[in-house]
Amino acid sequence: MATIEKKWYVIRAVTGTEKKVKHAIESEVDGSAQLKDMVMRVLIPIEKVLQIRNGKKIFKEKTLFPGYVLIEANMTGEVTHSLLNIPGVLGFVGCKRKTDPPIALRPEEVTRMLGKVDQMIELDAEVDIPFIVGEEVKVTDGPFNTFTGIIEEINAEKKKLKVMVKIFGRKTPLELGYLQVEKM
């Protein structure tokens, strides 16, 4: 038997239903021996984002490309037809009509996308900065607990804020971590 050439394709899905579409594709593949041979992987590129709310770290998964599901498969007519009939699937990227044959991603696009996903896994999490310069914050930790001040600078690399606080009637700069302050 000849080797089956599998390529990467992008399925357009209703935004917000990417996980449902992925699970539906996987269950369709598990239920069909023919699809099992033709479909290798189904992927939703996600990134973990660290958000700080009320002084607590919260890791949240965020879809990297909302409304899109990546699939590695050999797209024969039957496979394409099966995938297009899954609820939530709008079609393939690059096709004007559902009847058009799907267009595979170029190898460099696949490398870039999968590389970006791998990079997100290596970084583990990206920090979503919940503060802006000029915003008033309350110090919640350390010797200046309960003091209020205005954010002068944000250092995203070090996850630090420069906050101007009035101490004995004089403005004094403090360098505080994201977890040491909360919004007013």
Across residues 12-39, what is the average pLDDT? 90
50 within 8 A of 128, measured Cβ to Cβ:
yes
Across residues 108-121, what is the average pLDDT? 69
Has residue 60 got a pLDDT over 70?
A: yes
Domains for the chain: give ranges and CATH numbers. Answer: 7-128 (3.30.70.940), 136-183 (2.30.30.30)
DSSP H or E segment with residue 126: strand 126-128
CA–CA separation, 41 and 120 (whole Å): 19
Across residues 33-57, what is the average pLDDT? 81
Across residues 50-66, what is the average pLDDT? 78
Has residue 116 got a pLDDT over 80?
A: no
Six-digit token pair at 47? Answer: 């990134």
Question: Which stretch, 76-80, 146-150, 178-182, has highest mean pLDDT?
Answer: 146-150
H-state helical runs in 17-93: 18-30, 33-38, 77-84
Across residues 136-151, what is the average pLDDT? 89
Quick one: CA dihedral 6, 64, 57, 119, positive or negative?
positive
Residue % of the chain over a pLDDT of 70: 89
pTM, to two decimals:
0.61
Residue % of the chain over a pLDDT of 90: 30
Six-digit token pair at 154? Answer: 């944000």
How far is CA 94 from each of CA 12, 74, 75, 104, 155, rounded to the nearest angstrom?
A: 10, 17, 14, 9, 41
CA–CA separation, 104 and 113 (whole Å): 14
Residue of 12, 41, 36, 3 lying closest to 117 (CA atoms): 41
Q: How far is CA 132 from the centre of its chain?
A: 22
What would the pLDDT profile of 67-94 be if each residue is shown by its tens digit? 999 999 988 878 888 888 899 999 898 8
**pLDDT recorded at residue 1:** 43
CA–CA separation, 178 and 37 (whole Å): 50
Six-digit token pair at 48? Answer: 């973990």
Has residue 126 got a pLDDT over 80?
A: no
84 within 8 A of 36, measured Cβ to Cβ:
no
